[in-house]
Amino acid sequence: MKISDIRTHIIGEYGIANSNRYQISFAPGTDLSEWLDYAPLETPEVYDRKWNTNSKNAQIFSWLADDVQLPGYNVATGDLKGYVPGINMKYAHSKTFQECQINFILDREHTPYKLMQRWGEYIFQHQDTPSISGERGRAAPDSFIRTGYYDEYTADLIIDKIETKDKQGKEVVSRYRLTNAYPYTVSALTYANGPNQPVRFMCNFNFEYMREIDPSVDPMGIFAGSFRESLFDNTSI
């Protein structure tokens, strides 16, 4: 391969991937969406920031995501005696994904932080206790915490990798779907005297599975149906 061919490939036809061009969104169910005041995307043109006009939280969630780590994975293996004595074969038996970490910069209203706090409150919901006496004459507590149903507090998380197109517009070149995600770690906020700087926090998400999906597919169509029904459908690549 000639140097001119490499230059044509990297500079002309494809170019180098830029780390600062991406977008994230998630699609909660109806109840969780109302709880978070977060409406999913209404158009596949997510790279143009065309969001549902009733979903300010969706805009801010993506805009203030300072960085996101696309999860890697590990393959667990076992040993199997091979055909040659003394030599074992390692076979793959399960695949586990690393966590998805997103770091946010906060606006004055702390919108991303409040969004994650509300999500946590939906997972562990406070409910009132009926006014009855507890055992041994002790008064029952005024409320208790109920853990929500898994299918209700999880949401698919979409990570789009964006690049320039013909030196004019932008296009989604890669789209990744993290199925049934939910925040399990929300870091503390730090306020400190000294030079002023943006307030940041970190959030880790658990999820079941990650796949690359066709960027041309309508995101709303992606979210329709369960992961188990669409794991090997025709919309994947």
Closest by alpha carbon to 220, among 61, 27, 35, 60? 27
Residue 168, helix vs strand vs coil: coil
Q: Are 89 and 79 in contact (CB under 8 A)?
A: yes
- State if pTM tops 0.85: no
Q: Are 156 and 222 in contact (CB under 8 A)?
A: yes
Structural element, H or E, at residue 133: none
Q: Are 208 and 227 in contact (CB under 8 A)?
A: yes
Q: To 5 degrees, how large is the angle CA 26–CA 30–CA 36?
A: 60
pLDDT at 39 (0 to 100): 59
Write out pLDDT tens, residues 5-51: 666 666 666 677 778 888 888 877 778 887 887 655 444 344 333 33
